[in-house]
Chains A and B, each alone.
Chain A
Amino acid sequence: MSDMNQQMTAKYKNNFLKEIEEQAEMGDWVKMCMQCGVCSGSCPTNFHPGWDHPPQEIFMLIRAGKRDEVLNSQSMWMCTSCYNCYVRCPRKIPITHIMHGIAEYAYRIGRAPKNQPTLHLSQTFWNNCTKNGRVNEVQLTQTLYFKDGIADGIKKAMAMQAAALGLVKAGRLNPMEALGGGHKCKDIKGIHAMLAKAKELEAKRKGRTA
């Protein structure tokens, strides 16, 4: 169990709803859910395997204090940010943001599921785009394909070979970006300093300083 997780367990004792309200982005909306299930029926990922709990159930589990079941769930990580639940919710609950917020919090305190592919994508994307201020698409794709080792990476890259070659031919994938070329912001130093400060302020505001 991570230190941060212990720290939060001690702080909130058995009040998981309060923990989510204070720690997860938009978490203070959770108590507004009236369990109608429109969000669950609206989610495009609802029709595929890997769906532990639709949002409506996540909200009820939070209120029931099922901390481990919620934080370890794969559900939030299935969100495609389509905002269908968000616009259809009769109580106007910003469900998409709450799903992101719970996922982010679970990750921050070391409780997200192991080897979660969308978590890995989130880390890779943010690190990629903040490194030079703009996304390097080739390096992004490489990091994603090779996350499970060289052999697996080559297999995935081979499967996508036709599509990748099509993109290169169409001038929409620049192999030179792999060598560290690609587009950059001029004030990278300023961006890094600004983001370090933002991270520090957020940790302080949420009482997550180690």
Chain B
Amino acid sequence: MAKKEYAFYPGCSSQKGASASNYLVSVESMCQSLDIKMTQIPDWNCCGASVSYAEAGELPRHVMNARNFALSEQNLPERDIVATCAACWLGARESKERLEHSSVLMTDTNTALKEAGLNLKVIPEVRHMVEVLIEDLGYEELASHVKKPLEGMKIAGYVGCQTNRPFGILGESFENPMYLDKLIETVGAEATKYDQKVTCCGGALAFSEPEKAQAQIKDIIESAYDSGAEMLVTPCPLCQANTEVYQGQINKKYGTKFNMPVLYYSQLMVLAYGGSAKDAGLNGQVIRARTLEEFASK
């Protein structure tokens, strides 16, 4: 039997062929090394993300998350739900909080869920993957699996917004959360100090207000370079995509020469645990992580 078991909510971007598919590849490999069993919530649906607020309104957004809660309770009773995507985690946790706080919203939610043949009584705990790593396993346990430390690598931990605000990771400050730096150090690399650690990448507005978002992304990458970092690491699929795929356009607009790989924490862990480049999903990088590719082949 696996050491820890959870109800897994991978989210849309983690699916095969989607923008964070390499995140899922690395998480699966990481969980195997750590003996964590993740069972997908059957027929889970999109959380609605943050930006749907105008078209969705309030109740329909909560009902989308409530359907996942009900399916989880029905099929995987008493297990915590674990999301790998920061926005899925935030959206689902927010819905949990609102529904538990308001009997009106809860009653209406159940009236709507009935249309899909579902009923919600107890809402499971909703957690982010990094909470599981830090709180249920702990840094020591995570370090004990390291076979190949990422010695000499300088990495900027880009926490961004949605794993940090408004809920955050237990015991961390909103202004200078340390958990990502600690994860970087756990795998043997050096976490650089830079001042844009919790700056917003623009989120969904990278689509609708690209110039504003790219100005923010430029600040983040520039600051990471200034700190001596050779790559960025993040816990969020949208942060990852935004800070990676727009570097080319930023270079054109601002005359910069950015070419910084952007990784997930799980990819670093897989490599430190002795996994291959494929296990870590390194083939999913738009900006190739050459140092890590060489490291994996050694």
Complex CA–CA separation, A3 to B212 (angstroms):
35
- Contact between B161 and A82, CB atoms less than 8 A apart: yes
Chain B nearest CB from A34 CB (Å) reads 20
Indicate if A36 sits at the interface (CB-CB under 8 A). Answer: no
Tell me the A56-89 residues at the B interface (CB within 8 Å): 78, 80-84, 86-88
Indicate if A210 sits at the interface (CB-CB under 8 A). Answer: no
Complex CA–CA separation, A182 to B21 (angstroms):
13
Complex CA–CA separation, A186 to B71 (angstroms):
13
Give the interface size bracket for A toward B: 35 or more
- Contact between A87 and B174, CB atoms less than 8 A apart: yes
Chain B nearest CB from A113 CB (Å) reads 12
Chain A nearest CB from B251 CB (Å) reads 10
Indicate if B19 sits at the interface (CB-CB under 8 A). Answer: yes
Indicate if A197 sits at the interface (CB-CB under 8 A). Answer: yes
Name the A residues within 8 Å of B207 (CB-CB): 121, 141, 144
- Contact between B54 and A170, CB atoms less than 8 A apart: no
With contacts A96-B166, A129-B12, A172-B17 taken as known, whether A80 is within 8 angstroms of B202 at the C-beta atoms is yes
B116 contacts which of A94, A167, A191 (Cβ < 8 Å)?
Answer: A191
- Contact between B12 and A193, CB atoms less than 8 A apart: no
- Contact between A126 and B48, CB atoms less than 8 A apart: yes
Complex CA–CA separation, A104 to B45 (angstroms):
23
Indicate if B189 sits at the interface (CB-CB under 8 A). Answer: no
Tell me the A105-122 residues at the B interface (CB within 8 Å): 107-108, 112, 117-122
Indicate if B246 sits at the interface (CB-CB under 8 A). Answer: yes
Indicate if A159 sits at the interface (CB-CB under 8 A). Answer: yes
- Contact between A118 and B56, CB atoms less than 8 A apart: no
B17 contacts which of A84, A121, A177 (Cβ < 8 Å)?
Answer: A177
- Contact between B112 and A183, CB atoms less than 8 A apart: no
- Contact between B204 and A81, CB atoms less than 8 A apart: yes
- Contact between B13 and A171, CB atoms less than 8 A apart: no
- Contact between B13 and A137, CB atoms less than 8 A apart: yes
- Contact between A195 and B112, CB atoms less than 8 A apart: yes
With contacts A173-B17, A194-B113 taken as known, whether A125 is within 8 angstroms of B52 at the C-beta atoms is yes
Complex CA–CA separation, A160 to B287 (angstroms):
15
A191 contacts which of B49, B67, B109, B161 (Cβ < 8 Å)?
Answer: B67
- Contact between A48 and B212, CB atoms less than 8 A apart: yes
Name the A residues within 8 Å of B63 (CB-CB): 194-195, 198
- Contact between B216 and A129, CB atoms less than 8 A apart: no
Q: Which residue of B lies closest to A135 (CB)?
A: B12
Chain A nearest CB from B213 CB (Å) reads 8
With contacts A137-B18, A183-B12 taken as known, whether A127 is within 8 angstroms of B161 at the C-beta atoms is no
Chain B nearest CB from A184 CB (Å) reads 10
Complex CA–CA separation, A182 to B204 (angstroms):
21
- Contact between B165 and A25, CB atoms less than 8 A apart: no
- Contact between B52 and A122, CB atoms less than 8 A apart: yes
Indicate if B285 sits at the interface (CB-CB under 8 A). Answer: yes
Indicate if A201 sits at the interface (CB-CB under 8 A). Answer: yes
Tell me the B51-72 residues at the A interface (CB within 8 Å): 51-60, 62-64, 67
B115 contacts which of A94, A123, A171, A190 (Cβ < 8 Å)?
Answer: A190
Name the A residues within 8 Å of B48 (CB-CB): 126, 129
Q: Which residues of A contact B (CB under 8 A)?
A: 25, 44-45, 47-48, 50, 78, 80-84, 86-88, 94, 96, 100-101, 103-104, 107-108, 112, 117-123, 125-127, 129-130, 133-135, 137, 141, 144, 159-160, 162-163, 166-167, 169-174, 176-177, 182-183, 185-187, 190-191, 193-199, 201-202, 205
11 contacts between A and B (CB under 8 A): A100-B54, A104-B53, A121-B207, A130-B46, A163-B248, A170-B284, A171-B283, A172-B21, A185-B44, A185-B45, A202-B57
Q: Which residues of B contact A (CB under 8 A)?
A: 12-13, 15-22, 43-46, 48-60, 62-64, 67, 104, 108-109, 111-118, 161-162, 165-166, 168, 174, 199-200, 202-205, 207-209, 211-213, 215-216, 245-246, 248-249, 283-287
| CB-CB nearest 8 A-B residue pairs | A174-B17, A190-B116, A83-B165, A82-B200, A81-B50, A126-B55, A166-B286, A122-B54
